[in-house]
Amino acid sequence: MKKKIIPFDSFIDQALYAKKEGYYSRNNPFGKKGDFITAPAISFLFGEMIAIWLIFFWENLKKPKKINIIELGPGDGKLIKILLKTFAKFPDFNKCVNIFLYEKSENLIKIQKKELKNKNIKWLKNFNVLKRGPVIFLGNEFFDAVAIKQFVKKDKVILEKYVDIRKKNKPKILLKKTNLKTIKELKKFNLLKKNGIIEYPKLGLVEINNFIKKINKFGGGILLIDYGYINQINFSSIQSIKKHKKNRLFDNIGNADITSLVNFGMLNNYFKNKKLKVNEIVTQGFFLKKLGIISRAELLSKNMSFKEKTDLYYRLKRLLHPNYMGEIFKVIFAYKSKKKFTLGFK
């Protein structure tokens, strides 16, 4: 990192994505040997349910001859691998689908290419190659890895967090007066009602706006699954993780993950303001159950040994149970289509 004082979101972005020193540029954070495990690695059933949901949405769009699926932040490629395997069982859909991966980290692209030896997958740096639609953007634990701004509000005083990185290995938080333009942005999203820590995903909204432009132009939608909240919170949700354990923010910079909770309530309002249809936000547990994940598990378990069944249902519990991922993970779907599409949400 360059030696200076930078906004909080710039610090996080550099810590995660700087080309040489960033966390995702020099680490493989996934799995037991890494720092965290995502849903597709917990159980292939997660990926199967997402694949079925995508196929049904394609049918809702009246089975267009071509449909583009863009996975956002595909990590180690496990989800897309399961999707492709499932799509192969549905030939009519499979011949219509174009797969694109949107990945910021060159290091992760190498890992993905090693994992996904499929000539039909293309990697995107921007969305100019999408010349026709419809498009479906798919993000599982994408938005939590996009850096956020933080502000401190006490009565009428609003201060923005900056990080002083001038002293090597001794970064510290500084507070600076917030300019009027930023205050107007925060007010627009009703973020200034209460005192405390205000989190604002400015970089994330820039990303999402690019997705929305393509959805509005070509039709389709965006499905986001992530851990987060619906009603405004006023405390810091930033956390750093290393080897599956909490890590202090300024320890192991570039060698530990940094994430934050996603404000689904704000995303909901943002999508609606952009004239997209938005389904009611649901939990991951609700979504997967509505898609039939329990019935699928029961069917598979009939031919399994006791040990295999135990493993299958333990993994299912991690996806569905409120004490694990079932409640904290939320699902939102915003789309542009003539017909409503509420599969998984009602």
Say if 268 falls within a structural domain.
Answer: yes
Position 30 scores a pLDDT of 73
Q: Is residue 306 part of a domain?
A: no
CATH number at residue 180: 3.40.50.12710
**With 60 as the cut, is the pLDDT of residue 170 above it?**
yes
Residue 303 DSSP one-character state: T
- At 89, the pLDDT band (50, 70, 90 cuts) reads very high
One-letter amino acid of 220: G
Share of the chain above pLDDT 70, in %: 97
Nearest by Cα to 88 from 122, 123, 120: 120
Confidence band of 19 (pLDDT split at 50, 70, 90): confident
Cα–Cα nearest to 161, from 176, 145, 180, 172: 176
Q: Tell me what pLDDT residue 250 has.
A: 87
- Residues 191 and 122: their CA atoms lie apart, in Å, by 38
Report CA torsion sign: 201, 8, 125, 90.
negative
Q: Which of 3-7, 117-121, 270-274 shows the lowest mean pLDDT across its residues?
A: 117-121
Maximum Cα–Cα distance across the chain: 64
* Average pLDDT value for the chain: 92
301 falls within a domain = no
Mean pLDDT for 14-40 is 80
Residue scoring higher pLDDT (156 or 270): 270
Domain count, the chain: 1
Given pLDDT bands bounded at 50, 70 and 90, which one contains residue 27?
A: low
Do the domain assignments include residue 233?
yes
pLDDT digits (tens, 9 = 90+) for 205-241: 999 999 999 999 999 999 999 999 999 889 999 999 8
- For the chain, the residue count is 346
Residue 82: the pLDDT is 95
The model's confidence at residue 33, banded by pLDDT at 50, 70 and 90, is: low
Rounded to whole angstroms, what are the CA distances from 200 to 141, 165, 268, 273?
A: 17, 22, 14, 17
- In terms of DSSP bridges, do strands 257-259 and 239-242 run parallel, antiparallel, or are they unpaired? antiparallel
Question: Using CA atoms, how far apart are residues 92 and 325, in angstroms rounded to an integer?
Answer: 33
pLDDT for residue 152: 97
Question: Among 15-19, 114-118, 154-158, 304-308, whose mean pLDDT is lowest?
Answer: 114-118
> Does residue 228 form part of some domain?
yes
Note the pLDDT of residue 120.
81
289-311 per-residue burial string, b: 16 or more CB within 10 A, e: under 16: bbbbbeebbeeeeeeeeeeeeee
Is residue 204 in some structural domain? yes
Least confident of 158-172, 273-287, 288-302: 158-172
Q: Residues near 280 by Cβ (< 8 Å), separated by ≥ 6?
A: 345, 346
Confidence of residue 2 (pLDDT cuts 50, 70, 90): low
Tell me the percentage of the chain whose pLDDT exceeds 90.
Answer: 76
Predicted confidence band at 31 (pLDDT cuts at 50, 70, 90)? low
**Taking Cα atoms as reference points, which of 188, 327, 230, 342 lies closest to residue 278?**
342
Q: How far apart are CA 15 and CA 252, in angstroms?
A: 10
- For residue 183, what pLDDT is reported? 95
Quick check: is 241 in a domain?
yes
* 45 within a domain of the structure (yes/no): yes
Query: What range does the domain containing 114 cover?
Result: 5-292+330-335
Mean pLDDT of 323-337: 96
Phi, psi of 303 (to 5 degrees): -105, 20
Query: Which of 85, 77, 80, 86 lies closest to 136 in space, CA to CA?
Result: 80
Residue of 28, 15, 335, 72 whose CA lies nearest to 204: 72
Residue 182 has pLDDT above 60, yes or no: yes
Q: Which long-range contacts (CB under 8 A, 24 or more apart) does 295-300 make?
A: 296/45, 296/48, 296/49, 297/45
Least confident segment among 36-40, 65-69, 188-192, 296-300? 36-40
How many CB atoms neighbour CB 136 within 10 A? 24
Higher pLDDT, residue 167 or 306: 306
